[in-house]
């Protein structure tokens, strides 16, 4: 399973990439707006992100009509070869997905909350589908069961659209996504950081180092 960061913060992106665990990136208007403070410039920010991320980068349109989505998509795609266009899962979005597929522009159908929506965007030509598990959990639904159902349906019909598990809240979501067999998990930086942490690892390392200090260093030979 591939790991994407869900952020537009350059420091987080650079740190995550240094770990060797970042395969791509997802953004949305909210994440972008957080980083465009003061003299922040959209093109400069996105240009730097596209330069340093070793994989697909999802940039979201803000138009609600398919003609506007397509025009935005063309402009965004010019920013870099690794740009993926995030399209909302609506009827207008389906129209845009269909046309962008014809143009060989990769797309990410976002804000998916049901198997039927996942089927529709796949049929329309979406490269990726982003079911939002955390937001379903927030309203007492089981977000991960949706991932399992989408995975089953896609496998039933050999659908090539890749599943991006989105709106991840904690490491358990990542573990469950991997067990189900989702293609990608996109997560905030703090969640990715938690994946490597374990108290027993810290405890063991502390014990080893304490025991090492008991050795007479004069007896060490290399």
Instruction: Cite the active site residues.
Output: 86
Point out which residues pair with 4 in neighbouring strands. 24, 186
What is the radius of gyration, based on Cα positions, of the chain? 21
**Cβ contact 4:128 at 8 Å:** no
H or E stretch covering 54: none
Q: Which single residue is written with the structure tokens 């992100």?
A: 49
**Cβ contact 159:153 at 8 Å:** yes
Pinpoint the alpha helices (H) of the chain: 10-18, 29-35, 42-52, 66-77, 91-102, 115-124, 133-138, 143-156, 171-180, 189-196, 199-212
Give the whole-angstrom CA distance, residue 159 versus residue 72.
27
User: Quick one: tokens of 16?
Assistant: 């995550």
**Cβ contact 77:86 at 8 Å:** no
């Amino acid at each position: 399973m591939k790991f994407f960061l869900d952020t537009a913060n350059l420091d987080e992106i650079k740190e995550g990439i240094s770990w060797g665990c970042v395969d791509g990136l997802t953004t949305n208007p909210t994440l972008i707006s957080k980083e465009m403070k003061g003299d922040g410039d959209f093109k400069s920010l996105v240009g730097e992100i596209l330069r340093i991320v070793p994989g697909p980068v999802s940039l979201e349109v803000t138009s609600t009509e398919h003609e506007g989505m397509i025009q935005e998509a063309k402009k965004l795609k010019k920013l870099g070869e690794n740009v993926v266009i995030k399209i909302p899962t609506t009827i207008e979005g389906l129209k845009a997905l269909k046309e962008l597929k014809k143009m060989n522009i990769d797309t990410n159908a976002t804000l998916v909350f049901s198997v039927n929506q996942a089927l529709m965007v796949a049929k329309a030509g979406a490269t990726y589908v982003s079911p939002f598990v955390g937001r379903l959990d927030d309203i007492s639904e089981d977000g991960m069961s949706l991932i399992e159902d989408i995975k089953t349906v896609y496998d039933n019909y050999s659908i090539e659209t890749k599943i991006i598990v989105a709106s991840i809240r904690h490491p358990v979501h990542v573990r469950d996504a991997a067990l189900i067999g989702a293609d990608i998990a996109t997560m905030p930086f703090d969640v990715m950081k938690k994946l490597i942490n374990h108290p027993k690892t810290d405890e063991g390392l502390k014990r080893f180092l304490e025991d090492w200090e008991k050795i007479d260093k004069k007896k060490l030979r290399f």
